[in-house]
Structure 1
Amino acid sequence: MKDGDGPATPRLTDVAVLAGVSIATASRALSGTGTVSEGLTRRVMQAADELRYVVNPHARSLAGGFSSVIGLMVYEIDDPYFGEIAGGVIQVAAEHGWSVQVSHQDREAASDLAGVRLLRSQRVGAIVIAGSGYRDPTKNATVNRELEAFAASGGRLVAIGHRDIDCHSVLPDNVGATRAAAEHLIALGHRRLGVVSGPDSLTTVADRRTGIELAAAAADGVDVAWEHAAFTRDGGRLAAARLLDAHPDLTAIIALNDTMAIGALSVLRDRGIDVPGAVSVTGIDDIQVAQDLAPALTTVRLPMAAMGRQAALLALQPPAGGPTFVEVGLELVVRSSTAPPPA
């Protein structure tokens, strides 16, 4: 292992010889693929540590396999929802010797397709796609075919949310989340609700709309007005301003995520409308900053970091059997942005 210029870089062959196993066994033990006994895996790991051997994922991908990289596809990477999911994925990947490549997409099918093709060209070992699918099946079809081709070639595929694709999935309860928020406001006495919503073309929005409609249908005399904009703070500002202009009698606003709720709160503050004295506001997700707002935001907690961790664990499992569906819970978190409507 040495030449005249000093120590050579250790090779997989050296690890296999020191551990007393075949090269194929050493490779599977180090990559976590295939079936290798715990005892053999320990021997290989000890040999790799002794030799200071470092897996070269790029070399592995050039050899025709996959790299130990999870490709994480997200929208609005500056949105804390996706940031917390990414944190969960990165944590689990690091614990298993994998890295994460984040691919930021626009909320357009063409952008999704380009993102999947780029990750495939870079031979990532797994793809986790986080975020909503599209209500229009034709927009999902092309992207899903590319994802299914990746899985058929041996890649590991996990979706966070409903995407109408046959793969492991982590499923937040979007219907239950908005139903809990709406039921909270209705129980306080609100009957004129406004909804600050993301684009109507997304399945997440359709699911969250269903939750509000179920809550409203179960109560008497509840009117719900909707405004759609981007799933961003600026989108929340725009939609809230439109709601207040068109429906000045609203006593509560439900934002379909916390980032939009922050935009809505800023509009109410700019207009001198007291929260929650005149208008109550709720969000969905419970991003970390929600409790630090003034007033602190009532919202429905979805465990974003835990969703990311669960998705990464599913992505790292060797392919076996059919897809696994993991449903995650929710929790209504009541803070000071909601109160009974003004008398």
Structure 2
Amino acid sequence: MVVRLADVAKEAGVSQATASRVLNGSSRKPAEVIADRVREAAERLGYFPNAQAQALARSSAGLVGLIVHDIADPYFSSIARGVQHGLAGTGYQLLLSSTDRDGEAELAAVRAFMSHRTDGILLAGSRGLEDDDVLAAAIGRYQDNGGRVAMIGQPLPGAGGIEVDNAGAAGLLADELLGLGHRRFAVLAGDSSLVTARDRVEGFVGRLREAGFEPEAVLEGAFTRDGGHASLRELLEALPVGAGAEQLCVFCANDVMVLGALTALREAGLRVPDDVAIAGFDDIPTLADMHPSISTVRLPLEEMGRSAGELILAVAGVGERSVVVGEPVLRESTARVERRATA
């Protein structure tokens, strides 16, 4: 039997309007002794409040939407975990949409969250170099109607959030690698149409050039594990590596590309770091457990998500932006190795 609100009201000896104010979160609540009686009646009868009725009662759906490019990517799953922590104890529930880096899917997710009356929308991940006027317009309408929007990783016009200084952090990593004595460099650049990939590559290569070094190759590809695998195989066909060649240091524009590149190196019978040193960017959770452990730029991914979750609920500060600068972390994959003369 379906238990209705009217049944709870009758059981508690109150009007249906009073029962609704107690169970659906209205700001107009009766005396606590009456509210306790209503909640006890609902518990006895097994009544569950209607989410739509709750939203109407408190003028809030109690929902926050998070849009990521790929939930299987540890970068995004770490951010999602952080957002959950930021919302913990607030009464808000998190809705998640993964778009597989498809612009139309991202726009559809924004519209779906708008139709579900979410109180806020978080967008995590890199923006494309081309302005997305349709997405910006949809978000603008959402904000005009009281919705809150924040970005994680890349800014969007009219929205605050957590921004990453990708170029600056990549430059810091280049400094550290130069300090270890690395002199031969190659870059697996990922997708150059993404702002994140472009900024990381420009920051890294720019610092090398300031120090008087030019990368021997800059290869574009997918900003994914498979992209790293394919780009590293292409690199091995283009440059002398191993077999007496001076050690090559490869910078990958993100850590999941490193994972694919490591597989390609193993398939080619090459050793890290003896033949090829390798470094990434993000410090996804599994990276330090790899063998050898992988040098990278550490971003506080969970903390970024937590801060964004808190920000989306802070109406006064929702338009603010904070900038995160990553920290280079040197591990076994870029250990100093005596350079060998080319045969």
TM-score tier by shorter-chain length is 0.7 to 0.9
Aligned: 1:317 with 2:322 = no
Q: Which residue of 1 aligns with 2:286?
A: 289
Distance, in Å, in 1 between the alignment partners of 2:12 and 2:235 is 70
Q: Which residue of 1 aligns with 2:192?
A: 200
Q: Which amino acid in 1 is paired with 2:283?
A: D
Deviates more, 1:197-206 or 1:184-193: 184-193
Confirm or deny: 8 A CA contact 1:72 1:101 kept in the other structure. Answer: yes
Q: 1:265 aligns with which of 262, 265, 272?
A: 262
Q: Which residue of 1 aligns with 2:140?
A: 148
Aligned: 1:212 with 2:204 = yes
Structure 2 unmatched runs, 5+: 1-5, 43-47, 242-246
Confirm or deny: 8 A CA contact 1:65 1:123 kept in the other structure. Answer: no
Aligned: 1:251 with 2:243 = no
RMSD: 3.1
1:187-212 Cα shifts (integer Å, max 9, x gaps)? 22223211122211111112112211
Q: Which residue of 2 aligns with 1:13?
A: 18
Confirm or deny: 8 A CA contact 1:12 1:23 kept in the other structure. Answer: no
How do 1:1-343 residues align onto structure 2 when only pairs under 5 Å count? Answer: 6=11, 13-14=18-19, 23-25=26-28, 51=39, 56-61=50-55, 65-137=59-131, 140-249=132-241, 251-318=248-315, 320=316, 323-341=319-337, 342-343=339-340
Q: C-alpha displacement at 1:26, in angstroms?
A: 5.2
**Inter-CA distance 12–5: structure 2 relative to 1 (3 Å threshold):** closer
1:24-50 Cα shifts (integer Å, max 9, x gaps)? 4559xxxxxxxxxxxxxxx98x95798
**Inter-CA distance 264–8: structure 2 relative to 1 (3 Å threshold):** farther
Confirm or deny: 8 A CA contact 2:148 2:318 kept in the other structure. Answer: no
Count of equivalent residues: 321
1:162-206 Cα shifts (integer Å, max 9, x gaps)? 233211210122112211222222222223211122211111112
Confirm or deny: 8 A CA contact 2:9 2:16 kept in the other structure. Answer: no
Q: Which amino acid in 2 is paired with 1:130?
A: A
Confirm or deny: 8 A CA contact 1:66 1:155 kept in the other structure. Answer: no
1:29-74 Cα shifts (integer Å, max 9, x gaps)? xxxxxxxxxxxxxx98x95798368765432446794411111000
Confirm or deny: 8 A CA contact 1:191 1:223 kept in the other structure. Answer: no
After TM superposition, the score normalised by the length of structure 2 is 0.83
1:138-176 Cα shifts (integer Å, max 9, x gaps)? xx2111111111111111111112233211210122112
Aligned residues with identical type, % of pairs = 34
- 1:154 is paired with a residue of what secondary structure? coil
Confirm or deny: 8 A CA contact 2:9 2:38 kept in the other structure. Answer: no
Task: Please tell me whether Structure 1 or Structure 2 has the larger radius of gyration of its CA atoms.
Answer: 2
Confirm or deny: 8 A CA contact 2:249 2:278 kept in the other structure. Answer: yes
